[in-house]
Chain A
Amino acid sequence: MPFISNVTNKMEGVLKEKNLHVWKADGLPYHILRDASSSFWWFEPDVESEILYTAPRNETEVAQIIRIAGQLGVKVIVRGGGSGLGGVLPYESDVPYVIMDLKGIDGLLKENEKCSLASFGAGTLGIEAERIMARQRRTLGNLPMSLAFSTLGGWAATDAAGHFSTYYGRTSDLLTSVRLVDGRGDIHEFSRTDSDFHLIVGSEGILGVITAVELLTFPQERFWFRAFKVPDMYEGLEVFRYLTELCPAPVLLRLHDPLDSLVSGILEGINPPSSMVSGLLAGLSGFRNTLMPLMLSGGKLLTSWAENILSGDNISPVILLGYVADEMPADTIEDILRDHGAVSLGPAPVLRWLGRRHDMASEVSVYSSAGLMIDTAEFSVPWKFINQVYEDIRDVLASRALTLVHISHPDISGASVYFTFVFKPFSREEYDLLWSDMAQTVSRYSAAISHHHGMGRLKGRFIHLEHGPGVIHIRNAKSRFDPLNIMNPGVLL
């Protein structure tokens, strides 16, 4: 294909070690072709098309590749750790494109101990950055489930939030500056006092490639953890909000609904199921291989039935809570929660959850091996509407999927209501309709379509529901930084 050859020749000229690969689409390694979103089960690559893949080693190479791509009309798809759930890859298009993998631009670049700051290459994996910081007994404070699979540049591009965001904040709170190669190949550095900083963070690669980030670092702390059983989700939410408004803030605060508490294994060994149904739900293999497909076939009726049995078995919502050890006495918090009708389950459920929380890949593969798909929706919802969103989205999903819910990442205005839904694969049209129904539903409650997973190509089509005519400002930024429209096409806009 002369066009591909032309691009390859030009790009190889600027790349050390000629790290440019051309694959037939059907021969692409799975881990490069797709991101973590399992929502592309329908995707069948055009076996005739060729896809370019490159892994630049430095910012200069990034800039040169983007300039060549602009000259030749090649789109650039930016790839970090591949843990995104917004659906950036695969990119289904007849237009030629290059996947730019940033993991070659990694490592600690600079550390400013006096100001508690550290700079990293954008391709540095979160777990690697934490290893580096741990040598000085420090942490970045952003510890997402995808710590081992996500990059610091990806965190900045999606404004990611880790499990301890209640305490440390999310990525936009932690960043002090970002370096960007824009869609023209020009290099910028934005600090948080620049207006454009707020456009770059969270822009999901549509304005350019983030090549380096500077973040705050924190001393490592000792924590204490407790789990509490609460009577129901509504009582649980009241306690959850009360805890959010205490000072100092908790490190960890999550509210899991009964099904999520059981299936995620939080209650393992704590609350032995007395019925066969609960036993099957708690035994993960039995749940996935037998009961869940059955429930999915039966739709809402069977899900309600299972939940009733859980209720009869005294399986309740669970709050997972943690504090910095010397900031809040554990007995003070236990007294408060007891007054709200909560029952302490001790630290074991939290420690169990902490031990498993990074097992994302194995979770997904277990479901897929049972012929099921798993997807997530995490809406940012004002306090006032969390109950309604919890109910309404469960209704939307009820006839199509089995739904587990937890509420987390609280802040002064609201929290993330996180739906994990498991389903038997259905058509793409049905899937699109499902997401459309969910987006329309939450938009009635001033909720945001995505709290911290990014919007990507899957959810970007609903951006007008969230931003209204304000989308024009995102389009203006796109025209300014990427006038040739080559960066991450179809994402967000």
Chain B
Amino acid sequence: MIENSFLKERFFVELESMISPNSIEEHEGYILIHPGTSFEMARILYVAKKYSVDLSFPWGKAPLRISPNSMNSILKVDRDSMTVSVQSGMRWEDLEHILREDGLTVGIIPLRRMTIMESLVTGMEPPGIPLDGRSGPLIGVGWALEGEVVQAPLVLQRSTGPQWSSALLGRGLNTAVPVEVRLRIWRQADVTAVCHTYPSAQMPGPFIKPGSRHASITLRQSAGVFQVIWLMTGRWVHDSLPEKCDWSEKIWSLPAVELSSGKRILHKDFWQGDNRVGMSRMFWNATPNSLFIPDENEGINEFFLRMNALHRVF
């Protein structure tokens, strides 16, 4: 951690002067901190930077580890804007639980157990479209930046200028930490799940068009056919939906098939070679240009197998 004992002492003194001592745990080889506010997080960043100490989450290996679990309050539900502001230490599924009690939803299939902060810092996202993409729910992020907190407009379609906030996503804890997020929410009744079945993976569906608002998409293979499950945000006002699914009570509590590791890749890279060509068209809209897969080394069959577990919710 810090080799020089004088500096180490100074580091501890400074840390304890800024953070509630009750929030600091000393362990063999590392310190675990439970910041409770955005400003505490910003102060931790400041001290860590000053003494060149690396940061990680508790499951990481850095000498200074951050547990985001104490930052788990809903700050504001704004029914006028249909947004929720929340501390990023909240877990996706807990947020969905609370919203559903009021008939609201973020309209995504939440990652289980993972906090919003962890998913933004590691670049992992709930299955479906990118959080900060065109139909993604992420409207704004408050960043802790070495001693100060910045509220950043994030949604790409909203303004010109370099989207530095998007560029920080997935970049680890050392530069900046997302401490608050503002998410678009929907009335549960306005989120529709649709299943489409195709005889082969080559068949694009009628809803795979730019105008369909896909908050989430998953794919499964069953009995030789391919099914695409869409969660669509927005009111349907005509009856042309072929196969609605009852998702309201089930889909958010998916069994443990969440994408436990992975990365976003461009579909054009994913669909190079063999028999994958054509499938890309099933994804270009849901993730405008990219596709989230469990692991870049896993093949398409493995991907389908993982998605198979979704059977249990329909």
Please report A residues at the B interface, Cβ cutoff 8 Å: 112, 114-117, 141, 158-159, 161, 165, 167-170, 172-177, 191-193, 195-204, 207, 216, 218, 245-251, 323-324, 327-329, 332-333, 336, 380, 382-384, 409, 411-414, 446, 448-455, 463, 466-470, 472-474, 477, 492
Contacts and interface: CB of A to CB of B under 8 A. Distances in A.
A201 B158 contact: no
A468 B150 contact: yes
B211 A468 contact: no
Given A169-B134, A169-B210, A249 B163 contact: no
A132 B167 CA distance: 33
A210 B157 CA distance: 20
Contacts of A382: 81
Nearest to A164: B210
6 contacts: A161-B157, A169-B210, A170-B157, A172-B157, A193-B266, A202-B162
B238 A384 contact: no
Contacts of B268: 112, 115, 117, 176
A247 B209 contact: no
Nearest to A327: B211
Interface in B145-197: 145, 148, 150-153, 155-171, 176, 184, 190, 192
A454 B152 contact: no
A453 to B, nearest CB: 7
Interface in B218-238: 232-238
A248 B280 contact: no
A392 B265 CA distance: 44
B112 interface: no
Most buried by A among B137, B159, B207, B234: B159
A53 B15 CA distance: 56
Contacts of A467: 150, 152-153, 161, 164
Contacts of A469: 145, 148, 150
Contacts of B166: 195, 198
A216 B208 CA distance: 14
Interface stretch (B97-105, B252-260, B284-292): B284-292
Given A449-B159, A451-B158, A199 B280 contact: no
B163 A202 contact: yes
Contacts of B161: 159, 202-204, 448, 450, 455, 463, 466-467, 474, 492
A397 to B, nearest CB: 21
A383 B280 CA distance: 34
A203 B167 CA distance: 12
A379 B289 CA distance: 27
B163 A246 contact: no
A332 B156 contact: no
Nearest to B139: A413
Contacts of A248: 207, 209, 211-213, 234
